[in-house]
Amino acid sequence: MKQLAIFVATLSLVLSASTQAAEEIDAASLSDLLQMVREGKVVRRDVNAKRERDFVADKSKQQSEVNSAKRQQREQEALSERLENEFERNETKIADLDERLKKRLGSLRELFGVLQQVSGDTQGVFEGSIVSAEFPGRTEWLAQFAQDMGKSSKLATIEEIERLWFELQREMTESGSISKFTGTVNKLNGDVSEQEIVRIGAYNLISEGVYIVYDIDNKVLKELPAQPADRFVDSAADLLAATSGYVPFAVDPTKGQLLELQQFVPTLEERAHQGGTPGYVIIGLGIVALLLSLERIITLSLVAGRVRAQTKNTTPSTSNPLGRVLQIYQENKTVDPETLQLKLDEAILKEQPALNARISFIKIISMVAPLLGLLGTVIGMIITFQAITLFGTGDPKTMAGGISQALVTTVLGLVVAIPTVLLHSIVKSRSDVVLHILTEQSAGLIAEHAENSEKTGS
């Protein structure tokens, strides 16, 4: 009996959990628990009845809402139908208006098409023109104008057409004129400076006596990393200083591209370094040959001058070769002509080493220099083929070092050899002149001595 009571109590608690979840069940006895179950059953019956009434009432309300929704649906469908009819009428009206617009435009439509094309082409021209450095903002307006012309509903106004005409005319006029204006120049050290700029047509920009370029991509003016040859820089300074008349000036037809490439043109010193060790040896030999040639030319010129002076003086002087030969003649006047000739020949032979000193070395340098150039060429080609073996032929820069050495050493060898040959010829001819004078004077002395000996013997 006790177990049945516990079961009934548990069942009643489960059924009334939704209404008494927050209440604490406190039954002192089984009778109290039975009473609580009975009361809970009554409560549940009342709650269920209330739920049924609420459901019936809510069902009526829902039906009312459904009827209202259907009524709104019919109203919206009628509105949609009216809008569709109005849309169709508007479409027909727009088509009629477009047709009337096409008829009224006539040939103007072709004109607007040409304006759109010209504005697009002109935009590209202005973006690459250095005139835009003086007149910024032109490309932005052209871009907007071309974009507006691309719309079928947008027509160009008279003011826009006149402005396009003005910009084209200004570009043509400014491309043939020289103008001064103030602009911002980016220095190589990173500074920004406001300075006066001179624009030469659509070709070059100069400021403070040097060339500057207009960076088309970044729309800025900047200094060149390397200036062109001095004669071009001097012409830029002359142009800035001129107030009237004509000034010779070199222009860059590529609008600055050639000037920017100047930074990649090696200087004379850089080209000499490209020759490597063979190049240094060739340059050293060339300097030695030049110094020896200058020394020989100066020395032989002084000797030739003293010899010519000795030919006009009968008193022998030991300060020149001819004087020393005459001294031998004075000391051997009493000997026979054959002996005198031998002694004079001996004296001339003694003078030859001093006159021909170091001349043969100059000749050797003139022959060795091109051979060293050929050696450098071979070494450069070996370096080139090694680079090809390691890196292939995809990047020409990897082969540039070897090719540069091959060509530079060849040039250096020829540059040293050609003038050295000429210098050797000059030095040798001056030495031969002095020896010819000695031989000539010696032959004259022997002839005179033989003639005197014949007269004395007779």
- At residue 213 the predicted structure's pLDDT band, cuts being 50, 70 and 90, is confident
Enclosing H/E stretch for 344: helix 337-355
Q: How far apart are CA 453 and CA 332, in angstroms?
A: 13
- Mean pLDDT value of segment 49-63: 73
Q: Is pLDDT at 277 greater than 50 in this prediction?
A: yes
Tell me which residue has tokens 């001093």. 354
Q: Is pLDDT at 201 greater than 60 in this prediction?
A: yes
Four-residue CA torsion sign, 126, 132, 138, 140: positive
Burial class (CB in 10 A: 0-12, 13-18, 19+), 236: buried
> Quick one: pLDDT at residue 296?
92
> Quick one: pLDDT at residue 217?
78
Q: Please provide the average confidence, as pLDDT, over all residues in the chain.
A: 80
Q: Is 408 helix (H, G, I), strand (E, B) or coil?
A: helix
* Residue 401 · residue 456 · CB < 8 Å: no
Phi, psi (5° rounding) for residue 90?
A: -65, -40
> Amino acid identity of 344?
L
Task: Write the DSSP assignment of 444-458 as a string of letters.
Answer: HHHHHHHHHHHHHH-
Tell me the pLDDT tens digit for each residue of 303-325.
Answer: 888 888 888 887 888 888 888 88
Q: C-alpha distances in angstroms, 144 versus 46, 123, 138, 336, 368?
A: 79, 10, 10, 113, 70
Residue burial 116-131, b: 16+ Cβ < 10 Å; e: rest: bebbbebbebbeebbb
> Quick one: pLDDT at residue 441?
85
Of 37-41, 82-86, 382-386, which range is least confident? 37-41
> Quick one: pLDDT at residue 254?
77
Cα of 324 vs its chain's centroid, Å: 69
> Quick one: pLDDT at residue 14?
43
Residue burial 367-396, b: 16+ Cβ < 10 Å; e: rest: ebbbebbebbbebbeebbeebeeeeeeeee
Q: Is 220 helix (H, G, I), strand (E, B) or coil?
A: strand
- At residue 45 the predicted structure's pLDDT band, cuts being 50, 70 and 90, is low
Q: Which residues contact 47 (CB under 8 A, 6 or more apart)?
A: 19
Which range scores top for mean pLDDT: 95-109, 132-146, 340-354, 363-377? 363-377
Residue burial 318-355, b: 16+ Cβ < 10 Å; e: rest: eebbbbbbbebbeebeeeebeebbebbeebbeebeeeb
Dihedral over alpha carbons 74, 75, 80, 82 (to 10 degrees): 120
Pairing of strands 204-207, 210-215: antiparallel
End-to-end CA distance of the chain: 197
Tell me which residue has tokens 């020949």. 345
- At residue 282 the predicted structure's pLDDT band, cuts being 50, 70 and 90, is very high
Q: Is 205 helix (H, G, I), strand (E, B) or coil?
A: strand
Task: Please state the domain extents for the chain.
Answer: 176-261, 273-457
Q: How far apart are CA 320 and CA 302, in angstroms?
A: 9
Going through 201-270 in order, the beta strands assigned E by DSSP cover 204-207, 210-215, 220-223
- At residue 137 the predicted structure's pLDDT band, cuts being 50, 70 and 90, is confident
Q: How far apart are CA 205 and CA 256, in angstroms?
A: 8
Q: What is the 8-class DSSP label of residue 319?
A: T
> Quick one: pLDDT at residue 19?
42
> Quick one: pLDDT at residue 423?
93
Q: Which is more confidently placed, 376 or 265?
A: 376
* Residue 115 · residue 154 · CB < 8 Å: no
- Mean pLDDT value of segment 157-176: 86
Neighbours of 310 (CB within 10 A): 22
Please report, rounded to a whole number, the percentage of residues in the chain having pLDDT higher than 70.
82
Four-residue CA torsion sign, 136, 141, 142, 144: positive
- At residue 2 the predicted structure's pLDDT band, cuts being 50, 70 and 90, is very low
Tell me the pLDDT tens digit for each residue of 401-457.
Answer: 677 788 889 999 999 999 999 999 999 999 998 888 888 888 888 888 788 777 765
Pull the structure tokens for residue 445.
């002395």
* Residue 270 · residue 400 · CB < 8 Å: no
- At residue 365 the predicted structure's pLDDT band, cuts being 50, 70 and 90, is very high
Tell me the pLDDT tens digit for each residue of 4-34.
Answer: 444 444 544 444 444 443 344 455 666 766 6
* Residue 133 · residue 182 · CB < 8 Å: no
* Residue 292 · residue 361 · CB < 8 Å: yes
Q: Is pLDDT at 168 greater than 50 in this prediction?
A: yes
Q: How far apart are CA 403 and CA 396, in angstroms?
A: 10
Please report, rounded to a whole number, the percentage of residues in the chain having pLDDT higher than 90.
12
- Percent of the chain as helix, strand, coil, to the nearest 5: 70, 5, 20
> Amino acid identity of 284?
G
Pull the structure tokens for residue 455.
């007269």
